[in-house]
């Protein structure tokens, strides 16, 4: 089956649009980080990578730029746990992933949030 040039153009446009549309993120602590929180954090420092990071960071994101992001107040302390959130970016500046940092006594853990 051969596609017409118009169909090829439409499919290409839809694929490019899918990478522009970015969703909210659901974290393991039941907090949802909406894209508006990520956008509000655009003025925060964008770190180039995690070369000197104390957190055990997956290799997948170690060399990608990242920044701390704002979160709803109710997501900063859940129960007796304290959290912060980070956005990791692709080189084209689109959001690659969102991560929640768990502050546990004498340690930190970083966990990926899922798109919703």
For residue 82, name the pLDDT band (cuts at 50, 70, 90): very high
pLDDT tens-digit readout, 16-58: 444 445 689 999 999 999 999 999 888 888 998 887 776 678 8
> What's the confidence (pLDDT) of residue 9?
58
Report whether pLDDT(109) > 70: yes
Cα Rg for the chain, rounded, in angstroms? 17
> What's the confidence (pLDDT) of residue 25?
96
pLDDT tens-digit readout, 86-98: 999 998 989 999 9
> Which residues are 77's β-sheet partners?
82
For residue 3, name the pLDDT band (cuts at 50, 70, 90): low
> What's the confidence (pLDDT) of residue 80?
87
> How many whole angstroms separate alpha carbon 63 and alpha carbon 105?
27
> What's the confidence (pLDDT) of residue 10?
54
**Among candidates 28, 2, 10, which has minimal Cα distance to 113?**
28
């Amino acid at each position: 089956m051969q596609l017409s040039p118009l169909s090829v153009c439409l499919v290409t446009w839809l694929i490019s649009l899918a990478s522009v549309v970015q969703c909210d993120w659901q974290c393991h602590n039941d907090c949802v980080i909406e894209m508006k929180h990520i956008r509000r954090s655009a003025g925060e420092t964008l770190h180039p990578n995690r070369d000197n990071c104390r957190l055990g960071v997956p290799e997948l994101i170690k060399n990608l730029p990242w920044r701390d992001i704002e979160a709803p107040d109710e997501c900063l302390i859940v129960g007796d746990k304290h959290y912060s959130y980070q956005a990791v970016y692709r080189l084209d500046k689109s959001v690659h992933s969102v991560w929640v940092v768990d502050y546990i006594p004498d340690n930190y853990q970083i966990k990926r949030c899922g798109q919703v």
